[in-house]
């Protein structure tokens, strides 16, 4: 099984599932859901089996495992090349995990409008204002086929070791997520989808310019035999000025995708209008492509330019951390609170990446995984609340803990994970990212650490206003979590606790890849400011 094409098989499975779902006879909605869940679950099982075979020790030299390479467009040196290091592996697994979770949690999100509209009434049976109610559109097969197609593309991005292949898949992810937002979202879905698309296309076009620039450099330095393979591009001799321009093209695209201030404004609208499951795929998976790309391409292809740009990026990251947290406090919509909190958390991830310390980059990579789990829990449990009430406005809730205690307890758990409570997964990664930043940029780390207090404010205020106090009439008969909903959220709860208590397995996988990245950039961890000396014989 050493030569088994794990990455291709796992990546193609959801695409085959999407095709099968799309070709099912009309009216077989339940079968479409079951088929989508089955294909995504098989892909997850295979991904776990593959991950067990991953050897962290073998990754210490920066080599990719499960590598596949086939010539694709030989005239331009383009290859179908896949492989995983520890950084790619954790995000590959995150994608494989969250897709079946989202499918199970979104079981009824694409049902016909008449069925969904029945939930959009208050306790007195009066319809809720249309501008506050998401209007699901019929098209169950399309909805779940798009989710599976998106999974295939995201898995490919995290595994691609050819820059051209990475770019093609990076851009292709826009297609299914655009339709998931634009067709199945809320009342302002068209506006949100188009805004998301415009931002993403602008970033993609800037990135394309840098991809073309890499091709020209590769062709000129290899005597007409260009290559987009990552290991070939890292060997190019790129002058400092050219590096800066090429770095800027990639970084702008990744900053938009991440998202970072000031190119973040598409996210709150997209997350607000998308279904909860779509929001999970968008924020927990696709947005990680931005921070993943910063490590995989920006740092490794342009090490000198990365160090040159670091001071400015640190400033932008700190602004993102504080700006996102402050705006999250003032939001009146559940999903917009989560979206702005993600802007803040992504700022911490970027800080860790560009702190240029092994501790910071390890924490940032782990945070990509943990933030994905935490934000998925927030969006899904928030989605359960919204679907029951027919509104995402915080003011339309109150006293839910008295009528739906399990739902309320799960919401509290998700909120505590969102504020990085010690003992839960996000705490470990956030601590590492901030501690690693402090080693080089003390002021930036101190300012960013203030976001911990702000996170406690916006998460606990959100919980208090929705769950505690007098029970609102509209939620007096709100049902508690059902079996399917508990099953969907259970893996997230288990992993958030497990990685919070025992993060060593994930850190063992990530650390060798981080060390290889640091070596490629040409930086080492700063020496302690106070030298540590062994005690003398007389003081023992």
pLDDT in tens, 215-242: 888 888 877 788 888 888 888 888 889 9
Q: Read out DSSP for 387-445?
A: HHHT--BGGG---HHHH-HHHHHHHHHHHHHHTT-TTSHHHHHHHHHHHHHHTT-HHHH
Distances (CA, A) of 413 to 56, 434, 489: 32, 23, 11
CB 77 within 8 A of CB 170: no
Q: Give the per-residue pLDDT at 295.
A: 93
Sign (positive/negative) of CA torsion 500, 503, 506, 507?
positive
b/e per residue, 478-494, with b = 16+ CB within 10 A? bebbeeebeebbebbbe
Q: Give the per-residue pLDDT at 27.
A: 81
> Residue 137 pLDDT > 50, yes or no?
no
CB 267 within 8 A of CB 323: no
Q: Give the per-residue pLDDT at 120.
A: 42
CB 392 within 8 A of CB 272: yes
Q: What is the pTM of this model?
A: 0.90
pLDDT in tens, 236-266: 888 889 999 999 999 999 999 988 989 889 9
Neighbours of 448 (CB within 10 A): 28
Using CB atoms within 10 A of its CB, is residue 248 exposed (0-12), middle (13-18) or buried (19+)? middle
pLDDT in tens, 517-526: 888 888 777 8
Enter the tokens of residue 397: 């809730």
> Residue 136 pLDDT > 50, yes or no?
no
In sequence order, what are the residues at sequence separation of 6 or more whose Cβ sits closer than 8 angstroms to the Cβ of residue 235? none
Helix-, strand-, coil-residue percentages of the chain, each rounded to 5: 75, 5, 25
In sequence order, what are the residues at sequence separation of 6 or more whose Cβ sits closer than 8 angstroms to the Cβ of residue 422? 500
Enter the tokens of residue 287: 């947005």
């Amino acid at each position: 099984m050493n030569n088994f094409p794990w990455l291709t098989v796992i990546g193609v499975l959801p695409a085959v599932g999407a095709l099968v779902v799309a070709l099912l006879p009309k009216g077989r909605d339940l079968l479409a859901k079951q088929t989508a869940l089955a294909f995504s679950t098989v892909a997850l099982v295979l991904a776990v089996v593959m991950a067990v075979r991953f050897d962290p020790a073998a990754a210490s030299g920066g080599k990719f495992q499960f590598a596949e390479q086939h010539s694709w467009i030989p005239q331009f040196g383009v290859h179908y090349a896949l492989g995983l290091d520890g950084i790619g592996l954790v995000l590959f697994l995150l994608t494989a995990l969250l897709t079946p979770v989202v499918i199970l949690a979104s079981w009824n999100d694409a049902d016909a409008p008449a069925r969904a509209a029945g939930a959009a009434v208050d306790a007195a049976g009066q319809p809720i204002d249309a501008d506050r109610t998401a209007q699901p559109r019929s098209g169950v097969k399309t909805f779940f086929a798009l989710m599976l197609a998106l999974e295939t593309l995201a898995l490919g991005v995290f595994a691609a070791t050819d820059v051209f292949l990475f770019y093609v898949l990076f851009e292709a992810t826009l297609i299914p997520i655009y339709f998931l937002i634009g067709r199945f979202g809320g009342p302002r879905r068209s506006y949100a989808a188009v805004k998301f698309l415009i931002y993403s296309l602008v970033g993609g076009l800037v990135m394309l310019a840098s991809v073309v620039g890499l091709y020209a450099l590769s062709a000129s330095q290899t005597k007409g035999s260009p290559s987009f393979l990552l290991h070939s591009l890292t060997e190019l001799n790129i002058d400092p000025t050219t590096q800066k321009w090429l770095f800027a093209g990639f970084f702008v695209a990744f900053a938009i995708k991440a998202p970072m201030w000031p190119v973040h404004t598409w996210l709150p609208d997209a997350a607000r209008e998308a279904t909860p499951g779509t929001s999970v795929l968008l924020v927990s998976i696709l947005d990680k492509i931005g921070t993943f790309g910063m490590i995989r391409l920006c740092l490794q292809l342009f090490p000198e330019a990365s160090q040159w740009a670091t001071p400015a990026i640190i400033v932008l990251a700190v602004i993102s951390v504080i700006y996102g947290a402050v705006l999250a406090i003032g939001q009146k919509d559940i999903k917009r609170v989560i979206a702005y909190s993600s802007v803040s958390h992504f700022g911490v991830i970027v800080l860790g990446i560009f702190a240029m310390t092994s501790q910071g980059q390890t924490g940032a990579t782990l945070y990509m995984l943990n933030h994905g789990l935490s934000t998925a829990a927030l969006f899904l449990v928030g989605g359960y609340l919204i679907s029951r009430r027919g509104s995402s406005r915080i003011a339309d809730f109150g006293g839910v803990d008295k009528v739906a205690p399990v739902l309320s307890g799960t919401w509290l758990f998700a909120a505590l994970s969102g504020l990085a409570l010690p003992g839960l997964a996000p705490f470990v990664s956030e601590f590492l990212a901030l501690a690693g930043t402090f080693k080089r940029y003390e002021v930036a780390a101190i300012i960013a650490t203030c976001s911990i207090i702000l996170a406690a404010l916006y998460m606990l205020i959100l919980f208090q206003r929705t769950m505690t106090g007098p029970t609102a009439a509209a939620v007096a008969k709100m049902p508690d979590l059902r079996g399917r909903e508990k099953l969907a959220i259970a893996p997230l709860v288990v992993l958030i606790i497990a990685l919070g208590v025992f993060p060593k397995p994930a850190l063992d996988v990530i650390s060798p890849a981080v060390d290889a990245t640091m070596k490629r950039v040409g930086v080492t961890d700063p020496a302690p400011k106070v030298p540590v000396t062994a005690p003398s014989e007389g003081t023992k």
